[in-house]
Amino acid sequence: MMTFLNLKYLLLIVVVLSFISCGFIQPGIGYTIKNNGDESISNIKLYTSEKLEIVTVDDLSSKGQKIGFLSMKKNGSDGDYIIEFTRENGVVVKTNGGYYTNGRSLDQEVLIRIENDTVFMKFTGMKLY
């Protein structure tokens, strides 16, 4: 026998599933770009290998960070994520990592940590849709 509390949970589940199925949750991945290097970086671009949406950041100072969302609503195939930027000495760095399938991210967020000599990408929060 269903109690009032069980009916409330059932209603909540139906509402959440309706939002998901109707596309109210935008496909994509949240990102945090942290510049742990000693110098600022510029011309920062974050995109997928399909290169349909590009997040651009003009510059990021040493120890600075940028938080945002990379939309993937136009993506339709499998691929990876790419960060590209220019160091103060003019060297262009391009690093790829992670994986998405059928145009949808498998993760909720990527933390991109830029050091003096390397770039780390950490993906967290598996999506359940």
Residue 21 has pLDDT above 80, yes or no: no
- pLDDT > 60? residue 1: no
Question: Is residue 82 within 8 Å of residue 94, measured between CB atoms?
Answer: yes
> Are 38 and 19 within 8 A, CB to CB?
no
Cα–Cα distance measured from residue 46 to residue 65, given in angstroms and rounded to the nearest whole number: 14
Domains of the chain in start order, with CATH, are 27-126 (2.60.40.2890)
Mean pLDDT of 83-91: 97
pLDDT (average), residues 38-56: 97
The model's pTM? 0.79
| Higher pLDDT among residues 43 and 10, named by residue | 43
Q: What pLDDT, on the 0 to 100 scale, is given for residue 129? A: 47
Are the C-beta atoms of 109 and 124 separated by less than 8 Å? yes
Q: What is the mean pLDDT of residues 4-30?
A: 69
Closest C-alpha among 91, 93, 95 to residue 110? 95
